[in-house]
Amino acid sequence: MKEKHAISTLGYLLADPGRAAMLVALLEGRALPAGELARAASVSAQSASAHLAKLSRGGLITMQQQGRCRFYKLAGPRVANALEALGAISTARPSTEYIVARASESLLLARSCYDHLAGRIGVALAETMQKQHMIAPEGERDYRVTARGADWLNGFGVEMEALRHSKRHLARRCLDWTERRPHIGGALGAALMEHFLTEGWLARNRGSRALRVTLKGRHSFNKLGVPAL
């Protein structure tokens, strides 16, 4: 398909509900087989294959071959950030005004946005770190980690030196699609979520990108000044 503006091609790819559902499923950050993506989109295997081919040609997903199986994942954190931002501008009302099922409520509280923490807790964490002068907005899209923040993160178990040498942006302001305020993306966001999972503050839910906040996590987040309810 030849288009004068690349954004129109992107719009075409996202306009189909089945393809959109597949991309949302891949926001969890894991590589998923075509069959699982077909179920997420409520389409046949043949339709799923056609959708995945279009998304792949459009540069939104990548495919990994493992034996006879093919696994698909988002093409990178920039795609995840863009999807979250599109979700934010397409949300007509604040999330607090919606009546949601329990499963959806867990997504609003805490979820993975590719490889970093999103939802109410993710946004609250970013705001708390900013109020405590650990991070500060820099430019239009990033956070700057202050000297105070670097010391705190190193003591917290997040090695700043390694993050600074990462090929990724250190700390992105990723617009949260339900809160419509930024949470922390980039290398720092990924390191923080990995730390929370390793320390048992958060736990993954199988088949969903919703994250469960453990009892330890509730106490620990509250100590940081981050409401975990």
Q: Please tell me whether the overall predicted TM-score, pTM, comes out greater than 0.85 for this model.
A: no
pLDDT attached to residue 99: 43
User: pLDDT band at 86, cuts 50/70/90?
Assistant: confident
**Close Cβ partners of 15 (under 8 Å, ≥ 6 residues apart):** none
Band (pLDDT 50/70/90 cuts) for residue 203 is: very high
Predicted pLDDT at 226:
93
CA distance 199 to 85: 29
Specify the pLDDT at position 215: 95
Highest averaged pLDDT of the listed ranges 20-24, 92-96, 199-203? 199-203
How much is the pLDDT for 229?
A: 67
pLDDT at res. 93? 53
Confidence grade of residue 122 (pLDDT, cut at 50, 70, 90): very high
Q: What is residue 98's predicted lDDT score, i.e. its pLDDT? A: 46
Q: How many residues does the chain have?
A: 229
DSSP string, 3-47: -SSHHHHHHHHHHSHHHHHHHHHHTTSS-EEHHHHHHHHT--HHH
Q: Which two tokens stand for residue 57?
A: 């040609």
Average pLDDT, integer, range 36-58 = 90
SS3 at position 136: strand
Average pLDDT over residues 199-228: 90
Backbone angles phi, psi at 74, to 5 degrees: -60, 150
Residue 149 — pLDDT band, cuts 50, 70, 90?
very high
Calculate mean pLDDT across residues 162-190: 91
Distance CA 192, CA 170 (A): 12
80 or 216, which is more confident: 216
| Ordered domains of the chain (ranges, CATH) | 6-75 (1.10.10.10), 95-223 (no CATH)
The encoded tokens of residue 130 equal 């900013």
16: pLDDT strictly greater than 80: yes
Cβ-count burial 95-124 (b if 16+ within 10 Å, e if not): beeeeeeeeeebbbbbbbbbbbbbbbbbbb
* Residue 61 CA, distance from chain mean position: 15
Q: What is the pLDDT of residue 24?
A: 84
